[in-house]
Structure formats: structure tokens, C-alpha cells
Chain A
Amino acid sequence: MTAIATPLGSTLDYDALVIGGGVMGCSTALHLARGGMRVALVDRGALCREASGVNAGTLTLHMTRAALVPYAMRAWQMWMDSDKWLGMGVLATQAPGLTLAFTPGECELLTLRAQARREQGAPIEIISPERARQIEPGLHPGLLMAGYCEIDGYASAYLTGRAMAYALKNAGVDIFENCPAESIDSGDSGHVVHFAGSQAPLRARRIVLAGGVWIENMLAMLGVQIPIKVLINQLVITERTRPVMRSVLSVANGLLSLKQFANGTVLIGGGWQGDGSRDEGGIEARPQNLVGNMRLAAYAVPALVEARVARVWLGLEAETADALPIIGDVPGVANAYVVGSAHSGYTSGPFMGRIMAQHMLGQTPDLPIFNPARLMGMPMPIA
């Protein structure tokens, strides 16, 4: 990073440049543009092709961290309305959400987790197995207890890129895909972002680091050290199967996400870890975790056992040292912002982009942002 001694003057290309075209970056860029700024959005690949395009698309409060429930609730509404404010939908569908407990230990965990989320405003109630089966007839007969929330559902994550691109273009945002940012020169009046490849440098008054797991690398470009943990989540999608479920399912320990889309395919996730890294991406599934995840799914809904697996893939998820988002000013760098790294970031993404933009536009964010400075010097917990 080189400090620029002289002002950039009036040769700024943009009021804001967002680096990273996932849901957080796209939403930030969109809200900034609608707030009147000239905005560019850059990504090393195509929009929403990393975590944002390949996750399970679960829009649940059950598995959202308790402290993020208010954010997730607002984001849930944004997803359900996505075809209105984006102009193109992602098949966001409301469905009842059930968290299941199959052992006494899980019942305790379930009660605890439901309580923590209720305190944050999530309408989660503990229900009996009989009531759970009224909502979801195909559940395993060994179910002991369930948490129920009607504010739940899912979207087809892989549709997100196309919808965001459409909305961004209509909002006048300049999109630069396949432009990896390599370095950032920052000064008092703005920044110059340099790219690998043939893209010429872009100058902007403000930059927003929205790179998900790569926020750590981007912050390093500005000389700021904040560790971001990378989770390599495994996902499984089945072929089209007869209707076997109608709710969004999870298990008390938070390690299953299960839903059946309108087209009959069933998506199995829950954060089982595969192999990979930040630099290499997701490489391959771990066999025991694949087996475990599928067993849990087929246990929860026994009819699933006949479904055929079409594909197994991996998605990266970012997590900070305290597992809360990093949204706000980059410590020590003027006009630099960072938005992202929220556990279950897809769920809350659209809303996180909105509050980031509100902050940058000088408005009061609808809900408090998450000061990045708190993470300076905070050690990453040992796994």
C-alpha cells in the first residue's frame, strides 16, 4: 500500500468502488447507487459465483446466530420481496421451519437455542412431535421435540448472480467481472485499485471490501491485519424426487439443513466440512462427513433414502473471531469500509448491504453495524 501524497483531484471515476460481488457486495453497491452515488462493483470472477451462489439458500432463524436474529428477520423479508426490489427473483419461498431433537441431549440444546433466539425476537416455539408431524408428516417416528418458526424458507442461491446483475445494471452500477483486485493505493481523497490482467486501475473516493473469505487478504492490501476463518461447507443436491417434505428442517445441534424445492430436488447441507482452503477453494468432500450428512438427512426424513444424489459440491463460508459480522469503517484507513463475514451470511446478506450503504451515505443504519475495530488483536479461537 502506498500513501498518495497529493490529492487525486477531480479525476475520480467513482464515488464508491465495491470489491467483491457476492450478496453483501451486490446489495451494498445497489443501495449506494440508489442513494445517489456513482458506483462500480468488481469481482475476480462472475457475480455471486463464490459462497453467495453455491450455498444452501436457507432463510432460517433457527440456525442464524441469536444476536443476528433481528438482522435475519429483516433480510428474510427482503428475500421474500426480492423480485420487487431486484426486478428478478431467486424463487424465495416461505416455508415453516422446524428444528428437530432426537435425543434428550438435543432436546436440551434445542430449548436453549430456541430461547436465545426468542429473546432476540424470533417467533420460535417448542412443539411436540405430534404437532411437528402435523406440519411435516414425513418426519422420523423417533422425534422427541421440535422448534417451530413460521418465518423460514429458502431461495435458489444459484439464481442470485443473475438477479443481482440485472438489478445492478438497472441501477447504473458499472460491473467489472473477471477483474481480480491486486493492490490498493490509498490517500486522503480516495483510492486507486489496481487489477491483474488488462483492466486499467479504477479511482474511487470510497472503497468497500466485500470479499467474504478474502476480506482478510483485502484488508492486508490496506495494511490492516484481521484474521477471517474459512469454513468449507459440503452440500448435496438430489435429483428430482416425489414430494417428501414441505418445511425447512434443521437439527438441534445446527448441523442439518434440509429442504425440498418446488422442482422436487432436495438440498442437504448443514455445515459439514470438506477439504479446501482460501486460496484453493473447495477441493473435495470428506467421505465420513458426506456419509454423516446424508445419514442425518435420511434419518430426519426416512423417505429420502430412495432419492438419488445428483451432485456434491463445496461452498466457502467466512467467520470472524467472535462469529459476528464485520461491517463498518476499516480501522485506520480513511474512506474505506468493510462488509461481510457473517456466519449464515447469505440469509442476512441483503440487509447487511443496506446498513453498510446507509452508514456510508451518512444515514442512521436501520440496525447497528459491527465495528471492525473490535476484531483488531482478537485471537481466532482454536477449532
Chain B
Amino acid sequence: MANSFSGADASLRTDRAVRRGPALQFTVDDQPVDAFAGESVAAALFAVGRRELRQSPRDSAPRGMFCMMGSCQECLVWVGQRQVPACQVPVTAGLAVQTLSFRRQHLD
């Protein structure tokens, strides 16, 4: 369930002082997402307005990136066989990321 904000086409990326890594695509819940090599998955998703990554355990409230430094564990996603904070996963070409609820729904 992605939040999208009006004007989501205007990028949050700022390239005034840096040159980003090469552009690439990775997938989130089987959907392609454009990003640049080296960005964290959390930032790359944030940039496309995809802020909600999971739901809280009791209240099922939407949760997403909060501390950006791998401490709060709010931005957990599945990468392969591991649950990891999205803020600590660098994007690579073809990286397949699954949100926790997507993985739960698609397990046989």
C-alpha cells in the first residue's frame, strides 16, 4: 500500500554536489523501481513516494524508514532469504526486494 504524494514526479533527489552511480532498475514486490547504484533501498523507495514498508505488530499501523541508520528496525524488507533493514541494503541492478506483507501473502 504505497503512499503517493501530489507532485511525486518531481524528484526528491538532489544532484547539485554529486554525480550519482549508474542508473539501474531493481524490483520491489515484483514491480520495477528506477534507482541509482549504491543508494539504499529505503532511500530509493522514499524517492518514489513509497514510504510505507510494513505494518506494526499490534495496531497494523503503517511503518517505514525512521532512523536511516540500521537501529530502529522499522524499514525491514526481505532480500533473498534475509530480513534486513532497507536503509542498510545498497541497490544493485536486478536486486529483488519484497516487503514483509508481500512475502507473507506469496508464500505457499
Contacts and interface: CB of A to CB of B under 8 A. Distances in A.
Interface residues of B, number: 6
Contact of B104 (A242, A263, A305, A306): A242
B21 interface: no
B57 A306 contact: no
B57 A308 contact: no
A263 B83 contact: no
Main secondary structure of the interface of A (DSSP, over half): loop
Contacts of A242: 104, 107
Interface in B63-98: 81-83
A308 B83 contact: yes
Interface residues of A, number: 8
A238 to B, nearest CB: 11
The interface centre, meaning the residue of B83, B104, B107 with most chain A CB atoms within 10 A of its CB, is B83
8 A-B pairs with the lowest CB-CB distances in the bound complex, closest first? A306-B81, A242-B104, A308-B83, A240-B57, A242-B107, A263-B57, A306-B83, A306-B82
Interface of A: 239-240, 242, 263-264, 305-306, 308
A264 B57 CA distance: 10
A155 to B, nearest CB: 20
Contacts of A264: 57
Nearest to B82: A306
Nearest to A303: B107
Given A240-B57, A242-B107, 7 more contacts: A263-B57, A264-B57, A305-B81, A306-B81, A306-B82, A306-B83, A308-B83
A263 B58 CA distance: 9
Contacts of B107: 242
B82 to A, nearest CB: 7
A309 B104 CA distance: 19
11 contacts: A239-B83, A240-B57, A242-B104, A242-B107, A263-B57, A264-B57, A305-B81, A306-B81, A306-B82, A306-B83, A308-B83
A242 B104 CA distance: 7
Nearest to A306: B81
Contacts of B104: 242
